[in-house]
A and B are shown apart, each in its own frame.
Chain A
């Protein structure tokens, strides 16, 4: 590689990463700004972080969001593992092509449509059986599990397709029943993918405004909904602080997960 070329490439990367990271960096820096006017720097302080701790509405919303995200991510990976198995190992079955389309549908369908359609589902089904579906944390969890499942399916299926099918056969001929084979061979080998799928479903749930806005009811305001209604009114220093915390939290989660899977990958080898 010539020196001239590498300078060009470095410049490209420099600008690219600056574009990706500067806005977030600025947001983080200004979250430590003491001034009520977000863009006028006075001096560094943790003032807005202390304010956050006293904002009960935000804390409640955050706790609710974390619970919804954890539960829906767990449902997502269970369903996603089952769907990945169905698509990768149990074919052919009745309408498997349609199954495949439905399973990835939430990946291409706009969020507004997912939100609207699930809300209408809850309303119409409730109407039909004469029982109003109580909208709130439960409906949000179901909705999040629905699109979380699509992402989990894709990730877990990709891993499943890399596994040598002879491993299952080897377990079977060594005396393991299908269920034992799953427990002792397939599941341990899928675990990194299941963890990745869970993490993705978790962060997507934690980030969702649109779908939650449709299917939620009175009293169930998730953190993104609260943030969004505040952000629509303009920039606020408290939100800057909250955003910083979320970014740091998610970044730590992802970094830890990456390091873990890399360590796990090294221990398991790649066969």
Chain B
């Protein structure tokens, strides 16, 4: 019976250890956020009312209120932040897709020995600092930045264009930062694509464009969905890009949460925003996941 007990002890250690870590550092924090989103802010340390208080009898009194959530859905600031997050994440994901698809397609159709190097060149920026890549654009989009100086010097404009701190800059930043995440999954699907299918379509009379629309594109949809998932979801909760490149008007949830927490010191409201953000992220992931799992999408 030695193996059985040896193996069982090892299994208990490995599973038990990691489960403990995950419960303490992933599950418990979310539950705490959920709990504090039901509390009310106060001055003091910690800056929120306790959920459980010693009551008159044996049972502790529960101080839970949905006030924070009511605020979220009634105050136009938060509603706009919601809509802004979804809108900006969606449009920038779409632009990313429009740039990434041709790139992935071009890489998949080059000679095999070049592909790895080209792919490496797509991945490399992803490894280099996210913060620095967002920062790089501030120097370019500035009112005295590269683009404006060039245009001014050429005499094309009389005044610097407002490029930085605009929604345009936020889109640019997201597209730029997340492009590799869209290229990789699409490339992965296209690379495995059986190109004789395209030849079969040609043989059956499809012109190149029709062949692409009727064969290549449908077969590469799983990669597109995966890419969309990898860009849209993190873009929803993005903080650095809207904060660094966006203007005061570009409201996104991540940024509003940050402001509530650091500037207004309203921890309960920040928690409620976090819960809403999480719900949104999980909901969109689940939706996209369902689309990906549709039988016709995973052929």
A residues lining the B interface (CB < 8 Å): 1, 9-10, 12-13, 16-17, 19-21, 23-24, 26-27, 30, 37-39, 79, 82-83, 85-86, 90, 93, 95, 99, 102-103, 105-106, 108-113, 116-118, 120-121, 123-124, 127, 142, 145-146, 149, 177-179, 203, 206-207, 209-210, 213-214, 224, 227-228, 231-232, 234-235, 239-240, 243, 246-247, 250-251, 254, 258
Contacts and interface: CB of A to CB of B under 8 A. Distances in A.
B46 A113 contact: no
B132 A247 contact: yes
Contacts of B130: 207
Nearest to A116: B274
A116 B26 contact: no
B33 A250 contact: no
Contacts of B24: 121
21 contacts: A19-B99, A19-B176, A20-B176, A23-B133, A90-B14, A93-B11, A99-B22, A102-B27, A108-B234, A110-B281, A116-B257, A116-B271, A117-B32, A120-B32, A127-B46, A146-B26, A227-B132, A232-B243, A240-B139, A243-B129, A243-B132
Given A9-B109, A99-B19, A206 B139 contact: no
A228 B131 contact: yes
Interface string B149-189: 10000000000000000000000000010011000000000
Given A13-B118, A20-B125, A117-B32, A231 B14 contact: no
Contact of A120 (B33, B149, B234): B33
A235 B144 CA distance: 10
Given A23-B176, A106-B26, A113 B274 contact: yes
Contact of B281 (A79, A108, A179, A210): A108
Contacts, number: 219
A113 B278 contact: yes
B35 to A, nearest CB: 8
Contacts of B239: 110-112, 210
Contacts of A240: 139
B240 to A, nearest CB: 6
Contacts of A85: 14
B274 A26 contact: no
Contacts of B107: 13
A17 B123 CA distance: 11
A9 B36 contact: no
B137 interface: yes
B139 A231 contact: no
A110 B142 contact: no
A232 B36 contact: no
A175 to B, nearest CB: 12
A16 B125 CA distance: 12
Residue from B32, B110, B146, B262 whose CB has the most chain A CB atoms within 10 Å: B32
A124 B32 contact: yes
Contacts of B22: 83, 99, 102-103
Contacts of A26: 136, 139-140, 146
B171 to A, nearest CB: 13
Contacts of B46: 123-124, 127
